Structure 1
């Protein structure tokens, strides 16, 4: 199978597990996901499509991220940190681009491209996901994860519980629930006159990291 066919198949499989931001807040079943169609850049957005995109930016989106994190989820997935086995993701999406051959405690990455976004999973030695990551998509950075800034996060959620640094990353850490940490990760420094945008978000279940 060529790379183009593999990509098409994975995007089709993504529809089986990816969900709209709104649907994700109401459905607790990782296997009951359904996709919300994404308007192509050349299409004229319908009212519902415009509302969907509008919901993926600013304080509305940040509050949705926080609400999902309180139950161990991230936008775009029904997987639950600390509960969902990586085998469920493999069943829906096939093998990942990165990390599929690794054993024990490791990370795996799926990058669907074509504006479909990228997701990462931290997996413990028992095969349970303890860290969910949403990298958003890079085609339209006016919506989704990469549209957010550290300033907009603070404006919406207040000051983080903790600020961490790892390499070139700055990490704002919030505690939406006792079992989970919500992390907004972006560059620790940017060029003068530039604004630091969020690169990805994490929902982390510390007790499952074994």
Structure 2
């Protein structure tokens, strides 16, 4: 009974933390003046959130946020925010919480709330922000995007990288940050390559 109670409390706390996430990039933009330590943006109405996570409008908002070192759903700033601020808001990560030095941590909130990753340098500063979106409704959010829709909105990137089975479109919204759209390099015939996740990377902070 005690173990079941602990598991129930843990799930309840996790869902409560997930409720702090704003899945809309518009929410993040409207709170861009909030201190970087405030990593979770307030939630918006479902209708507003969903309408803001489609097509070229969403891609443009991602690009605009990236120029400030941000990703949709967070007020954390790559190269400035400390992972301790995220821990304070969201608790222990699902992956990487026991690692030290330069490492990655992942929060997977489930229940359509999405997943977020953080690259952390040895000083505890986040240099890489990742938004994996959510997999329940792939018609909205990060996973609704395709390489074709990204090119149509932002043009062909000057740099395309490959890592394992991933293809990475790299844009430079500012001198400080790289914006990466990551997806499969190959898909089955007749299928469309959708974006798996986006990164905003501050190279100078990767120490």
Q: TM-score, normalised by structure 1?
A: 0.90
CA-CA distance at 1:125 after TM superposition: 0.1
Question: SS in structure 1 opposite 2:18?
Answer: helix
Q: How does 1:56-135 map to 2 (within 5 A)?
A: 56-135=53-132
Match of 1:35 in 2: 42
CA-CA distance at 1:24 after TM superposition: 1.2
Which 5+ residue runs of structure 2 have no aligned equivalent?
A: none
Match of 1:21 in 2: 25
Residues paired across the two proteins, number: 200
CA-CA distance at 1:17 after TM superposition: 5.7
Query: For the residues of structure 2 that align with 1:114 and 1:74, how far apart are their CA atoms?
Result: 20
Q: TM-score, normalised by structure 2?
A: 0.91
RMSD: 1.6
Q: Name which of structure 1's ranges 20-29 and 94-103 shifts more when overlaid on structure 2.
A: 20-29
Deviations 1:120-139 (A, max 9, x none): 00000000000000000000
Query: For the residues of structure 1 that align with 2:86 and 2:109, how far apart are their CA atoms?
Result: 14
CA-CA distance at 1:15 after TM superposition: 3.9
Which 5+ residue runs of structure 1 have no aligned equivalent?
A: 40-48
